[in-house]
Structure 1
Amino acid sequence: MEIVTNQRFRKAGKYFRAFIIIGLIGFGLAVLIGAGVLLYAKILGPPPLTVPQSTLFYSNDGTVIGESHNGQKRYWVELDQISPDLIDATIAIEDRKFYSHHGFDYKRIVGALIADIKAMAKVQGASTISQQYARNLFLAHEKTWKRKLLEAFYTIRLEMNYSKEEILEGYLNTIYYGHGAYGAEAASQYFFGKHAGELTLSEAAMLAGIPKGASIYSPFKSMENAKRRQKLILHTMTTSKIIDKKEAADAYNEELTYNGKHLHTRTKSAPYFQDAVRHILKTELNIDDRVIELGGLRVYTTIDLKQQEVAEKTVERYISEESDIQVGLVAMNPKNGHVMAMVGGKNYEESPFNRAVQAVRQPGSTMKPLLYYAALEKGFTPSTVMRSEQTTFHFEENRPDYTPKNFNSQYANGEITMAQALALSDNIFAVKTHLFLGEDTLVNTAKKFGITSKMTNVPSLALGTSGVRVIEMANAYSILANGGKKVTPTMVTRVENYQGDVIYEQKNETIPILKPELAYVMTQMMTGMFDPKLNGYTSVTGSTVANQMTRTYAGKSGTTDTDSWMVGYSPQLVSAVWTGYDKGKTITLSADKAYAKNIWVRFMEDTLKGTPAKSFLAPKGTIGVYVNPENGKLATENCPVKRFTYFVAGTEPTEYCTEHLLHDEKVPDKTERAPKKPWYKKLFDWS
C-alpha cells in the first residue's frame, strides 16, 4: 500500500514539474512574443494619423465658398479648440482611466468578459479611447479575431509613439456622431450651429452620448433616448467629481436649441471658379486628386464674393435662360493678377463647361490694342495717319489675296489717325499696320502679353482670327492697366494641409515687361472708344454704353461672325466678357452682339460703385497736348473739336492744324498748344 502511494506521489510530482516547465516555457514564449510585438511596433514607428476630411475653399475675405463632398464631413480642430466640457464628458463615459492606462483597461476587459459570459452574448464593451481611435483610423468595424488583434497592435503603436493629448485630439476628430458628421467640430456645427469650443456643459453631455449609437441616441432620432443618455453622462461626471450635482441638474434641465444643418452645404457661389481652382491644384500645384477631395486642405482663393454676385446677377439680367447665347466673364485685379470674379456660362447645373478658361474663341478687334502697342514700340504715335478705304492686299509666293472689310463696309476714304482708327475699330488701318510691322511682330507681342493660345501667322491675325481664352484677354489688358508689369492670372493664394501647415503660398513678383510710357499712351488711346470727339465716318464703338459710365475706362470691343467681346479696365479692375453660341453659330441679331458691352459696363459700374473714381496716372516720359482728332495735328482755337492726347515725350506732333484758320490768322506758337495751369493748381494736382 505504501509503495503504491509513493508511486502515485512520484507520478503526480512528474506531472506538476512538467506543468511548471511547460508554464515557464509558455510564459517565456509569451514574454518573447510580447517583446517581439513591442520591438516590431517600435521599428515600424508612428502610424499615420491622416483621415478623410473635407477640403474647404475660401474667398479672399476668409468666407467658405465650398468644400469637397467625396470625403467625410469633418473639420479638424486642435484639442484646445474643443470645449473642456466635451472632453471631460467623453472621457467620463468612454474611458475614465484614459490618462492612467497604456492603451488597455485590463480590469474593464475582465469585467466585460464576465458580463458577456453570464449573458451568453456580447453585452458590454471594453474598448478604450486608444483602441477606438485605432479602429477608426485603420480598421473596418467587423467583429473578427483578426480585426481585434490588429486593433490591439495599432493601439500599442499609437500609445508608444503619441502623447495622450494627441490621441485624444485625434479621437475627438474622428468619431462618428451620425448624420454624416465626423468629429467634434462637424458635430457641434450640425447639432448646435456653433464651434466645438463654444459648447455648454448641457450640449457637451448631449453630444458625448451620441457615438454610442447615433441611430439610437441622436436627439433627431429619439429625444427620449438622447436625454436618458445625457443624464447618465452627467451622473458619471458627478461621480468622477468633475462637476457637482447642481451643475449636473442645471445642465440636464437646460433647454437646448438644435440646428440640424451642416456648416457648409453645396454652394452655388462661383461654381465655375471652384472647378478652375481644383484644376490648378491638380495641374499646377501637382496635388493628387485624392488629397484634393479627401485631404482636408484649406484652399485660400482670390474670389471676391461681392464682385462675383454682381457678375452673376448682371449675366442673369441680360441673357435669358431661354436664349442659346452663352457667356464667359473674368474680372482681375491688374496689380497682382488676382481673379476676382468668374462666370463660365449661364447655368452651371446645365453645363459645367467653363467658357471663361476653357473655350478658345476668336477675339476679333480686342486684339488691336496689342497690335498698336507693338506699333508704338516701332515709332508709331496716336497721330500716325493711314488711308481708310476698301483695300485688297496682294502677296508674293502665290499667297492668296486678302480683302478685309470694315463693319457695314464703311470707310473714311481718306486718312485717319491711329487713335481714331482704334476708337472706330477700322480694320484697314489695323491690317496695314500689321503687315508694315511684319506678321511675326503681333505673334511675339501676344506672347509678351501672356497669351499662350497659338497665334496663326496670317494677315487677318490683326483682326483677331486666332482663338484665345477669356482669361488670357483679361490678363493681357491687366498688363496695360498696371503700367506694363507682368502679371499672371492667380486664383489660389495659399494652401494649407489639415494640420494648418502651409504647403503652397503665392509669391507676387512685379517684373516690368512693357515700357510704362508706351503702356500709358496705349491706355489713353483705348479711352477713345467712349469719346465722341473721335467720331468720324462712323461713331466710336463704345457710344452705345458711354452714357452709362460714371468714371474713366479704357477698353476695346470685338465682334466676329460668331463672337462678341468687350474687354476694358479702370486703374483698379479689369474685366473681359465674351458672348456667343457654343457651336460657333453665326450671331445675326444686333441685340445679341450688344450683350458683351452691356454686361461689361454694368458689371464695372456696379462693382466699382462707392469706390473712388481713380484716373490713370501719367508716368515720366509722357506729354499731353490738344490735337485735332481728325488729322492728329496740334489743335488751334479755331478747331471745332480738340482732344487732349498723350504721347511719348519727343514724339508729340509739331505741326498745327491749318484747316480752320482764317486768311489773316497766324499759326500759333507751339508753346501755346495746351493751356498752362497756374502754379498753385499744379501744386495740388496729384492725379
Structure 2
Amino acid sequence: MEAEIKLKKKWRNIRLLSYIALLMIGLIFILFISFVIYLKILGPPPLAIPQSTLYYTADETVFGESHNGERRYWVDIQEISPAAIQATLSIEDQTFYQHHGFDFKRIGGAILANIQAGQKTQGASTITQQYARNLFLTMDKTWRRKISEAIYAARLEFHYDKEQILEGYLNTINFGHGAYGIESASQFYYGKSAKDLTLAEASLLMGIPKGPSIYSPLKSEEKAKKRQKLILDAMQENGYIQAEEEKGALAEEITLVGKHPHHRADMAPYFYDMVQKELKTTVGLDERVIALGGLQVYTTLDAEQQKIAEEVVEKVIPDSSDIQVGFAAMDPQTGFVTAMVGGRNYDESPFNRASQAIRQPGSTIKPFLYYAALEHGFTPATQLRSEKTTFEFDHGNSEYTPHNFNNKYADDEITMAQALALSDNIYAVKTHLFLGEEVLANTVKNFGIQSEMKPVPSLALGTSGLRVTELLNGYSMFANGGKKVEPTFIKRVEDRNGKVLYKAKPNQEQVLNPQLAFIMSHMMMGTFDHRLNGYASVTGASLIGKMSRDYAGKSGSTNTDYWMAGFTPGLASVVWTGYDQGDEITLTADKLYAKNIWLQFMEQSIDQQSEEQHVFKPPSGVEAVPMDPENGLWATDMCPTFRLTYFLKGTAPGDFCTEHLLGL
C-alpha cells in the first residue's frame, strides 16, 4: 500500500513537472512569437550610414567630395573582390551563413575562455552584431546599449538577407586613416577599387579592422604581416585557398599608396561652390544630406576646359600683378557651364568673381542694344553720324557728353556694322536715345540678365553692373539662335541607391527672333574683321592674327574693368579682369589680359571638339549681300573693299555704291 502511494506521488510529481515544462515551452514559444511580431512591427532597421558625396565632371570622373571626416564609398557586394569576402568570413565569422545573427556555441566558448583567463581575451560577435554596432551613433559599453544592439542585430537578420548584411558590414567597418568601408580603404591603401584586390592585398587589408592603429601597414608593417598570415591560415583551413596560394600571397610585394583618391575640390573650387549652392537652391537638399548623404552629383564641368582655363589665367596674368579675374564658359545649346575661374587663388579669396561680383560691362552691353535696334527696324547698314556730341535729356535740364576711345570720331556717317566693330560710343548713345531709355533696360531681361539696369543715357555704354555669368547667358542666346538658356551646373543627382533625385531639363523656349540673333552674331564677328576698319581699327584687331576660326565677340572697358566675351555656336565664354577694390587700370599690359585669356581659352578648347560644332550657319529668312562698310550700300567691283553682310530678306540695301566708279 505504501509503495502504491509512493508511486502515485511520483507520477503526480512527474505530471506536475511535465505541466511546468509544457508551460515553460509554451511561454518560450509565446515569447518567441511575440518577439518575431515585435521585430515585424519595428520593421527594417534604418541603415543611415554617413557616406561621402561625390562630384563628377561631365565625363563622370570624380573631381571632389564632401564628408564628415569619414570617407566612405558604398559598393555592391558584387563589386568586392571574392578574396576580400573570403578573408572576412574566415577571420570574423566562419559560420555566418549558418547562424541567425548570434553564434551561441562561439559565445559559450568565449565566455569559458574569458573566465579561465580572468579577463576578456576572446570576442564572439558575429558579422551581424558588428554591423549592428557600426550602425549605432554611440559606442558606450552599457547594458542598455548592448541589449539595443542585440535587438538591432535580430532586426537585421529578420528583414535582410545574408548578402545584404555582409555588404553593409564591409561598407561600414573602420580601416583607419579616415577610410570607412572596403572601397574607401582599397582606394586609400592601394589606389584601386575593391573589386580588383588580389589575395595578398585583401588578406592584408582585412586584418586592419581588428585594430586600425595597430594593424595598419602604414603604422606597423610587421604586425600587419603577422595578422595577414593569421587570415591566410584561416582561409586555407576553411578551404578557400591552397597552401601554394598562401605562400604566394605572403611573398607578394605590395605597394602602398596611403593617399585618399578624392579631395574637396581638387580642381575648379569656385565651380564646386556653385554646385553646392545649386544643390540647396535648385535641387532643394539640406546641408547634411549634401555632405553625408552618399549622393552622386553629376555636374556639367568639362575637366579639359577647366584645366585650360586655369592654366591660361596663370600664364597670362603675372604673379606680381594684383589684377583679379572672373571667367566662365558655357555650351550655348544647353546652358551647361563647362568651366569657371572665380579668382586667381581660392585659398586666399573664395569670393567668386564670375558669379558674385557685379561690375560695369562697358561696351559688351552694345550687342543687346543693337539687337533691340534690329527689332525696331534698324539694319546693319543703318547710318548715324559719329562726331563729338552733347546730348540733352530730362527736358533740357541735363546734359551728357560721351567720348570715343582716344577722342577719335568719324565726323561722318557710319553704319551700325562698323559702329559695333569700332565700338563707337556716339552711335550707341544715339541709338539708345532714339529707341527710348527703357527699351535696353527691358531687352536685357530677355537675355537672362537680372541685375538692375538704370534707364539712363549712359546705359548704352554699360554703366549698370552685371555678373560674368549673366553676360555669358546673354551671349549664349545669340550663339544658339535665340533659345532660352540659363547657367546650369548640375546634370543630375542620384542618391546612394542610384535613384535619380534631380535631372536638369534645358529650356528650349524660343525667346529671340532667330534671324535677328544670327544677324547680330554675324555683326559681332566684325569685331575681328579688318575690312570694317574706319577712323579707327576694329577692337579685336590685336587678336585677328592669332585666330584659327571665326568667332563672334565684343570687348568692353571702363576705367576699372576690362572684359572680353564671345562665342561660336558650340562654346561661349566671358572674361572680366580688374581690381577687387575698383582701382583704375593704368598699365597698357593690364588692359590686354581679358582679350588674351579669352582667345587662348577658346582656341585650345575648340581644338578638343568637332569643327562642326563651331560653324555659323545662317537660318532661313536671311540673305547675304556684299556691303561697302563705309556707306552701307551694295558694293560693286569698283569698291576697294566689301564685307558679306546678312540682312532680313527684303531689308538689304537697294542701291549700289557709286562712290568708287571710275572718274568720280
Q: What range describes the TM-score normalised by the shorter chain of this pair? A: over 0.9
- Provide Cα deviations, 1:96-147, integer angstroms capped at 9, x if missing partner: 1111111111111111112222222222111111111111012422222122
User: Aligned residue for 1:643?
Assistant: 643
What are the equivalent positions in structure 2 for 1:432-451 lying under 5 Å apart? 432-451=430-449
SS at match of 1:644: strand
Amino acid at match of 1:639: C
The sequence identity of aligned pairs, in percent, is 59
User: Aligned residue for 2:620?
Assistant: 620
- For 1:21 and 1:400, the matched residues in 2 are separated by 111
Q: Which moved more, 1:17-26 or 1:53-62?
A: 17-26
Amino acid at match of 1:408: N
User: Aligned residue for 1:516?
Assistant: 514
What displacement does 1:398 show? 7.4
- Provide Cα deviations, 1:386-424, integer angstroms capped at 9, x if missing partner: 111222222246763222222222222221111111111
- Provide Cα deviations, 1:301-341, integer angstroms capped at 9, x if missing partner: 11112111111111111212322210011111111111111
User: Aligned residue for 1:661?
Assistant: 661
Q: Which moved more, 1:114-123 or 1:576-585?
A: 114-123
- For 1:409 and 1:182, the matched residues in 2 are separated by 67
What are the equivalent positions in structure 2 for 1:66-215 lying under 5 Å apart? 66-215=64-213
User: Aligned residue for 1:675?
Assistant: none
- For 1:399 and 1:489, the matched residues in 2 are separated by 42
Amino acid at match of 1:618: P
User: Aligned residue for 1:683?
Assistant: none
- For 1:208 and 1:431, the matched residues in 2 are separated by 74
- For 1:571 and 1:508, the matched residues in 2 are separated by 16
What displacement does 1:558 show? 0.6
Asked whether the 8 Å contact 1:71–1:293 carries over to 2, the reply is no
What are the equivalent positions in structure 2 for 1:140-539 lying under 5 Å apart? 140-396=138-394, 400-539=398-537
- For 2:374 and 2:486, the matched residues in 1 are separated by 24
Asked whether the 8 Å contact 1:76–1:499 carries over to 2, the reply is no
CA 1:350–1:238 in structure 2 vs 1: closer, same or farther (change >3 Å)?
same
- For 1:586 and 1:36, the matched residues in 2 are separated by 81
- For 1:397 and 1:634, the matched residues in 2 are separated by 39
Amino acid at match of 2:42: L
Asked whether the 8 Å contact 1:99–1:164 carries over to 2, the reply is yes
What displacement does 1:444 show? 2.0
SS at match of 1:565: strand
Amino acid at match of 2:627: V
Q: Does the alignment pair 1:633 with 2:633? A: yes
Amino acid at match of 2:564: M
Asked whether the 8 Å contact 2:362–2:558 carries over to 1, the reply is yes
SS at match of 2:391: coil
- For 1:223 and 1:662, the matched residues in 2 are separated by 94
- Provide Cα deviations, 1:563-594, integer angstroms capped at 9, x if missing partner: 11110112321110000111222222232222
SS at match of 1:548: coil
CA 1:21–1:122 in structure 2 vs 1: closer, same or farther (change >3 Å)?
farther
What displacement does 1:33 show? 5.7
SS at match of 1:652: coil
What displacement does 1:25 show? 8.4
CA 1:194–1:123 in structure 2 vs 1: closer, same or farther (change >3 Å)?
same
- For 2:252 and 2:183, the matched residues in 1 are separated by 21
What displacement does 1:77 show? 0.5
- Provide Cα deviations, 1:623-682, integer angstroms capped at 9, x if missing partner: 11112111111112222222221111110001122222235x8xxxxxxxxxxxxxxxxx
SS at match of 1:394: strand
User: Aligned residue for 1:676?
Assistant: none
- For 1:110 and 1:610, the matched residues in 2 are separated by 67
Asked whether the 8 Å contact 1:139–1:151 carries over to 2, the reply is no
User: Aligned residue for 1:549?
Assistant: 547
What displacement does 1:266 show? 4.4
- For 1:615 and 1:178, the matched residues in 2 are separated by 54
What displacement does 1:71 show? 4.6
Asked whether the 8 Å contact 2:324–2:577 carries over to 1, the reply is yes
CA 1:19–1:145 in structure 2 vs 1: closer, same or farther (change >3 Å)?
farther
SS at match of 1:365: helix
What displacement does 1:528 show? 1.1
Amino acid at match of 1:591: A
Amino acid at match of 1:474: L
What displacement does 1:162 show? 0.9
- For 1:133 and 1:24, the matched residues in 2 are separated by 37
User: Aligned residue for 1:64?
Assistant: 62
Asked whether the 8 Å contact 1:174–1:182 carries over to 2, the reply is yes
- For 2:437 and 2:12, the matched residues in 1 are separated by 107
Q: Which moved more, 1:239-248 or 1:34-43?
A: 34-43
- For 2:13 and 2:592, the matched residues in 1 are separated by 105
Asked whether the 8 Å contact 1:139–1:147 carries over to 2, the reply is no
Asked whether the 8 Å contact 1:338–1:490 carries over to 2, the reply is yes
CA 1:242–1:610 in structure 2 vs 1: closer, same or farther (change >3 Å)?
closer
SS at match of 1:74: coil
- For 1:227 and 1:14, the matched residues in 2 are separated by 66
Q: Which moved more, 1:24-33 or 1:530-539?
A: 24-33
Asked whether the 8 Å contact 1:52–1:71 carries over to 2, the reply is no
**Unaligned stretches of 5+ residues in structure 2:** none
What displacement does 1:261 show? 1.9
What displacement does 1:37 show? 4.3
SS at match of 1:61: coil
SS at match of 2:498: coil
Amino acid at match of 1:175: I
Asked whether the 8 Å contact 1:72–1:294 carries over to 2, the reply is no
Amino acid at match of 1:407: F
Q: Which moved more, 1:600-609 or 1:364-373?
A: 600-609
What displacement does 1:556 show? 0.5
Asked whether the 8 Å contact 1:391–1:403 carries over to 2, the reply is yes
CA 1:91–1:508 in structure 2 vs 1: closer, same or farther (change >3 Å)?
same
SS at match of 1:468: coil
Amino acid at match of 2:332: P
Asked whether the 8 Å contact 2:302–2:339 carries over to 1, the reply is yes
What displacement does 1:510 show? 2.2
What displacement does 1:173 show? 0.4
Amino acid at match of 2:531: K
Number of residues of Structure 1 aligned to a counterpart in Structure 2 = 656
SS at match of 1:181: coil
What displacement does 1:440 show? 2.1
- For 1:603 and 1:568, the matched residues in 2 are separated by 11
Asked whether the 8 Å contact 2:325–2:577 carries over to 1, the reply is yes
- For 1:28 and 1:400, the matched residues in 2 are separated by 102
- For 1:120 and 1:34, the matched residues in 2 are separated by 34
- For 1:636 and 1:332, the matched residues in 2 are separated by 40
SS at match of 1:480: helix
Amino acid at match of 1:81: E
Q: Which moved more, 1:571-580 or 1:606-615?
A: 606-615
- For 1:327 and 1:22, the matched residues in 2 are separated by 87
